Amino acid sequence: MKARIVLIGPGRVGAAVGKRLHQAGYPLVAVIGRDQRRAEDAARFIGCDPAAATTDPAQARRGQVVLLALPDDQIGAMAARLQQDPGLPEQTTLVHFSGLQPASLMSVAGSACAAVSIHPLLPFADREMAAARLTDCPCAIEGDEAAVPLAEQLVGAIGAQGFRLPSDAKVLYHAAACIASNYLVTLTAAARDLLLHCGFDNQQALALLRPIQQATSDNLGRLDPESALTGPIVRGDSGTVESHIAALEAQVPQLLELYRCLGQQTLALATASGRLDKQPAVTLQRLLSSGASDDCAIG
């Protein structure tokens, strides 16, 4: 028989994971939120009994597994509150979904509860899309050894692919996720803003960017970054880079430092690829370093 699940936090992450667990046959016996209407909406989305929606944390007693789909700064306090409840079964497993915080954040001295974290390496901008994309999604698993097999079972139930992550590696792992996902959105916004200066409207600009971004993503699906890199820097085309810098200085100076910082990182990648000759690299380094913040420096 599959473990009874309680979800605390009816937001996008909790709703998406809860939906997949419900579809896999796990009984979601309580969906707990601060707002009753949001909890009911999440229960409907998940597909479980709407009567499971509640604002009462004491309903966590009903589960064998409690999912804490909460902001990082709320996880520890909620875990401590739950474990102070004498009605919470001793063998309850607590699960959080933070990519940054270790599972030990939920540990309380003297408690028999197990703690484990599951972090889907996925953007949760929309719960419906996220629920669908959990299929084959990599999920980092970290925490009490005794709880890891259960975490692996839950990850398998949602159709994802689990991998073990050392607790002391979580911060760098999370930084990598932020660069790969959040900063990609920021870079898209910066590219869009440059196209707005060219006379396109917001919708046109984003539509123009999608094909090149999709093609780049496809290339990265087949090649490593060193091989997938294209453009003026890896070609050693210092004249193009100089033109970019001059145009940004004159028209969009707020994006110049971003261009130079990314250019220096791209130059390092191009050099590491073995595809860029030494002399063009020196010229490009001089162009990209001139006036750039020391924080952008390579090496």
Q: Is the pLDDT of residue 292 over 90?
A: no
Task: Decide if 162 contacts 155 (C-beta within 8 A).
Answer: yes
Please tell me the distance from the alpha carbon of residue 131 to that of residue 40, in angstroms, as a whole number.
18
- Last residue within a domain, chosen from 133, 165, 197: 165
Q: Do 59 and 88 meet the contact criterion of CB atoms below 8 Å apart?
A: no
In tens, the pLDDT along 105-114 reads 999 999 999 9
Query: Is 121 found in the same domain as 21?
Result: yes
User: Which pLDDT does position 299 carry in this prediction?
Assistant: 41
pLDDT at residue 293, as a whole number: 60
- Can you list the positions of beta strands (E) in 93-221? 93-96, 114-120, 138-143, 161-164
Domain that holds residue 153: 5-165
> pLDDT tens for residues 181-195?
999 999 999 999 999
Q: Residue 290 has what pLDDT?
A: 78
Domain boundary among 112, 135, 165: 165
Could you tell me if 10 and 39 lie in one domain? yes
What's the structural domain count of the chain? 2
Beta bridge partners of 119: 140
